[in-house]
Amino acid sequence: MTLETQMFQNAHSGSQWLLPPLTMLLLFAFADRQTADLPKAVVKRDPPWIQVLRDDTVTLTCEGTHNPGNSSTQWFHNQSSTWGQVQASYTFKATVNDSGEYRCRMEHTSLSDPVHLEVISDWLLLQTPQLVFLEGETITLRCHGWKSIQLTKIFFYQNGVYVSYDPYDVSYSISNANHSHSGDYYCKAYLERTVHESKPVTITVQGSATASTTSLVWFHAAFCLVMGLLFAVDTGLYFCVRRNLQTSGEDWRRSLSVGKYKAPQDK
């Protein structure tokens, strides 16, 4: 095999395996997307409040796809994976050390989003299932006493202004919430014959759920369109370069053949 022929074959074979960088990036992105498409596990709290008092009973449950014969669950507490729980659901009496973020993962799920739990030592606590609400949602607050002691004469306050009173009802709900309902909330109540006041909790009301969903849909649509156009352009450039390489190789081989069999000129 001549040196010229070997050079042509190397160039020709190399062009077959030449992939444009963006195409390679998209292939890796699609591979990662397949992994990310696993359904996320979900951590549920019972009761649903993000704050509880010391000695309250709390149940955490990991929900997701799993084999009926294998309920093994991997739990994470404050980013530590060495936690000893393997059951999908368990109940415990809360201590201050139980505060933090909880995540879980099952056999056929990806890692769940973090769920926060704060354990507080106090006589009275204002409880809420979340700190951020969307416009139109219902805000539910609960005034809770230590060891579930019965409360009487319950007051709720927003930014220091009284907004609700009931002799025995420990819950306060705001339907169809809007921005005016953002603020610091706390409650006052009698535990037996002594009045106590909870620490304030900051509630935020943001844009509507419909607007957020619409924005997310448009973002995904625009992203897919841009990526599709880039993929098409990059693929077109790739085949153009490949065709030019093949043409150049054929011209090179043809010129070699002509030069090899050309009759010698008279000197």
pLDDT value for 5: 45
Q: Name the percent of the chain lying above pLDDT 90.
A: 52
Q: Residue written as tokens 């081989």?
A: 253
pLDDT value for 118: 97
pLDDT value for 64: 83
Structure pTM?
Answer: 0.64
Return mean pLDDT, the chain: 79
Long-range contacts of 245-248 (CB under 8 A, 24+ apart): 245/11, 245/12, 245/15, 245/18, 246/12, 246/15, 248/11
Report the relative pairing of strands 100-105 and 74-77 from DSSP bridges. Answer: antiparallel
Q: What is the pLDDT of residues 83-129, one digit of tens each?
A: 667 889 989 999 999 999 999 998 888 999 999 999 999 999 999 99
Quote the CA–CA distance of 58 and 139 in Å, as a whole number. 22
Q: 179 or 28: which carries more pLDDT confidence? A: 179
Q: 71 or 192: which carries more pLDDT confidence? A: 192
Quote the CA–CA distance of 144 and 133 in Å, as a whole number. 21
Q: What is the pLDDT of residues 146-155, one digit of tens each?
A: 999 999 999 9
21: left (phi over 0), alpha (psi -120 to 50) or beta: alpha
Domains annotated for the chain, with CATH where assigned, are 44-121 (2.60.40.10), 122-207 (2.60.40.10)
Q: Is the pLDDT of residue 27 over 60?
A: no
Q: Exposed e or buried b for every residue in 224-261, given b needs 16+ CB within 10 A? A: eeeeeeeeeebeeebeeeeeebeeebeebbeeeeeeee
Q: What is the pLDDT of residues 161-218, one digit of tens each?
A: 999 999 999 999 999 999 999 999 999 999 989 999 999 999 999 987 555 455 555 6
> Are 125 and 110 within 8 A, CB to CB?
no
Question: The dihedral of CA 96, 97, 98, 103: what is its sign?
Answer: positive
